[in-house]
Amino acid sequence: MNFNTLLRHIREGAKNVFRNGWMSVASITSIVVSLFILGVFLLLVLNVNSFADDADSQVQISTYLGSNVDKAMREKVQAEIGAMEEVSKVTLIPKAEGLKDFKEKLGEEGKDLLEGYDETTNPIPDTLKVEVVEPTTVPYVASKIKALNEKYPDQPIYKVNYGQGTTEKLFKITRAVRNIGFAFVAGLGLMAMFLISNTIRVTILARRREIGIMKLVGATNMFIRWPFFVEGALIGFVGSAVTVGALFFGYSQLVESVKADITLAFHLIPVSEIGFQLAVLIVGLGLLIGIWGSTMSIRKFLKV
């Protein structure tokens, strides 16, 4: 194929988009609708993911030390836990602070309950708050910390607490949300492809005669296919560009309004963080759907 022919195909493909007028509008609209829904779901999944990641990273291991543990022992244990490769941070919460936190947590109603406890009679032990790099390793790290008791004869670890069960449940929910989200997105993608191939099939049906004439004057199949290929790509591109524009506008509005409302406990991923990947993904999908749709629907008209 020479350069002139390539230009011709591009020109013809572009012309066809306009010649088919409303059919093109219908194709573009169906791409916009499907990709937009897909984009909304993608944003939802991404945000749920990031929210779950945030929640994951908040999972801590509370290590309560025995009341017999002295300062030297405490520092030894703290250093030992800090040296574990799964652990990212170990913070000491002295018993006095622990009591204060506990009082705050109980609030007004629990005030009476803790009446009479002061520095000397404090029932709360020293606590080491352990954070890990990978949330899924929490149970493993907890058991490792517990095992420290075997190393030291005076059993410095009183109790290890990491919300057993709660963590596992959280992981399960996160995974479920991700899977359902991705399944939904995949389903919508297929639906979009079906819609587009159908729309283009209608335009090709209308052009059956045209294709017949092309073949009659000796056009090769490739020659006939090219303009349709370009047309599909153009429709896909325009549709996805409109979608990206709409998604960006809507999403950034949403991010702004969420940011303004400080009572909400979560934040949305800013556009600057996911915008590029999202745009590339949607435009890529749009092109793929458009090209796939046009190639598939022209196939059977090229036989004979």
Of 1 and 106, which has the nearer Cβ to another protein?
A: 1
Q: Residues near 243 by Cβ (< 8 Å), separated by ≥ 6?
A: 31, 32, 35, 36, 39, 282, 286
Asked if 300 interacts with another protein (CB under 8 A), we say: no
Asked if 10 interacts with another protein (CB under 8 A), we say: no
Binding flags for another protein, 13-42, as an x/- string (CB under 8 A): ------x-----------------------
Of 227 and 232, which has the nearer Cβ to another protein?
A: 227
Question: Which listed range, 174-182, 205-213, 248-256, 277-285, lies at the site for another protein (CB under 8 A)?
Answer: 205-213
Residue whose entry in the numeric block shows the structure tokens 């670890």? 157
Which residue type sits at 124?
A: I
One of 86, 178, 215, 250 touching another protein (CB under 8 A)? 215
The rounded distance, in Å, linking the Cα atoms of 220 and 238 is 28
Asked if 213 interacts with another protein (CB under 8 A), we say: yes
The rounded distance, in Å, linking the Cα atoms of 230 and 119 is 79
Footprint of another protein on residues 278-297 (CB under 8 A)? none
Asked if 4 interacts with another protein (CB under 8 A), we say: yes
β-pair partners for 129: 62, 91
One of 219, 246, 269, 296 touching another protein (CB under 8 A)? 219
Residue whose entry in the numeric block shows the structure tokens 């000491």? 92
Tokens of residue 289, six digits: 């759907």
Question: Which listed range, 71-79, 156-164, 218-226, 285-293, lies at the site for another protein (CB under 8 A)?
Answer: 218-226
Of 64 and 301, which has the nearer Cβ to another protein?
A: 301
Asked if 1 interacts with another protein (CB under 8 A), we say: yes
DSSP 94-151: -HHHHHHHHHHHHTTTTTTTTTT--TTT--PPPEEEEEESSGGGHHHHHHHHHTHHHH
Of 11 and 111, which has the nearer Cβ to another protein?
A: 11
Tokens of residue 271, six digits: 């556009």
Asked if 5 interacts with another protein (CB under 8 A), we say: yes
Question: Nearest CA to 81 among 129, 38, 153, 48?
Answer: 129
Asked if 223 interacts with another protein (CB under 8 A), we say: yes
- Which residues sit at the interface with another protein, rule CB under 8 A? 1-2, 4-5, 8, 19, 209-210, 212-221, 223, 304
